[in-house]
Amino acid sequence: VLTSVLVSLLYVISQLVENSENAYMYEDVDWAIIPVANPDGYEYTHTDTRLWRKTRTPGTICYGVDPNRNFDYNWNVIGASSWQCDETYAGYIPFSEQETQAIRDYTLAHKDDIKLYLAIHSYGQWMLYPWGHTTEGPEDEEELIALGELFRDAIYAVNGTEYVVNSTAKGLYYAAGTSIDWAKAVAGIDLSYTIELPGGGSAGFDIPAERIESVVEETWEGFKVLHDYIQRKFNDTDTDN
């Protein structure tokens, strides 16, 4: 089963690598793309539980940790769980999971070059910026909103899909220990967002296959706008995105 998130990211890779018209997008900006950040959990959705969310780390009672509650910034203070059987279980310590450790290590190794951090999820049609633990916005909230609205408008221009730009806590729900909050606060990547792609199907997470193409195409247009903004702002051929 291919998800809209995975297909969208594979499409971004193919557009960058195979479409010569987009060569400028990787000549002046470096891209680091992880199509599947939770491979064991993703595999488990094929073999057992279709909507499995967590990793597959064995616990004393239940399996898995929610990777997006496992980052070490305001870890487990709100919007997460200490009960290992909950879907939002934050783990017994921050960065308990190999998956989050890998993201942490790569990000910190390149933090001086990374100008934009994106976590691609589904579902909900949101462009979310920090914070998840408080409704108080970051100091650069105005810029985060402005760039989010550029992304939103680019998406809307393709198929009329309407995204909402807001912080995680104000727009969606409280969620501490998320990757974007950690990326911004600890790794120092000011422009950090979670993109929640459109949903569908009975549970929202299982978008019908016939809709994936339209989601992929509009998401690519949004990525192009984000690239252009980063290129203009930093004008650095050695920038990691």
> Which of the residues are catalytic?
196
Residue 67 DSSP label: G
Which amino acid, 1? V
Among 135, 127, 136, 205, smallest CA distance to 174 is for: 135
Which amino acid, 89? Y
The two structure tokens encoding residue 3:
């998800």
User: Alpha-carbon distance 192 to 183, whole Å?
Assistant: 7
Q: In the block, which residue shows the tokens 């992304």?
A: 151
**CB–CB of 146/226 below 8 Å?**
no
Cα-based distances in Å from 96 to 53, 58, 83, 195: 16, 12, 15, 24
Among 162, 160, 170, smallest CA distance to 124 is for: 162
